[in-house]
Amino acid sequence: QVQLVESGGGLVQAGNSLRLSCAASGGTFSGYGVGWFRQAPGKEREFVCATNWNNDNTYYADSVKGRFTISRDNAKNTVYLQMNSLKPEDTAVYYCASARYGSALFQKPSLYDYWGAGTQVTVSS
């Protein structure tokens, strides 16, 4: 069973950057699609971006397009989320998820098979 662990969250000022990592253990997810989601207090979990198994196809929510970049290093079993030009509205718990379908760019949380516990990102104004 694949286990995912996010890291890299923290408190930053608006305009700054953070890089989140999602490390897989208990198995490889090199053949899986991977997505990032976020959930702010009182709101539903929201799709952020996704990448297919070899990162040659990605998809971003409009709210982060041009500011966030998803990438992966399959040799390290790790997916990254580079977040630039952060805004206070980016404040949320960020989750990574993997789907056994390698070409997946799913936007619906229910289509993912494995989830991490999340990492908090707080952006101050």
- pLDDT value for 71: 96
C-beta neighbour count of 22 within 10 angstroms? 27
More confident residue, 1 or 122: 122
Instruction: Quickly state the pLDDT bin for 69 (edges 50, 70, 90).
Output: very high
- Other CB atoms closer than 10 Å to residue 18's CB: what's the count? 21
32 CB-near residues (< 8 Å, 6+ apart): 2, 53, 98, 99, 100, 101, 102, 104, 113
Q: What is the pLDDT of residue 29?
A: 78
Integer CA distances (angstroms), 39 to 56, 81, 119, in order: 26, 15, 10
Question: Which of the four pLDDT bands, split at 50, 70 and 90, describes residue 19?
Answer: very high
Average model confidence (pLDDT) for the chain? 95
pLDDT band at 26 (very low <50, low <70, confident <90, very high): confident
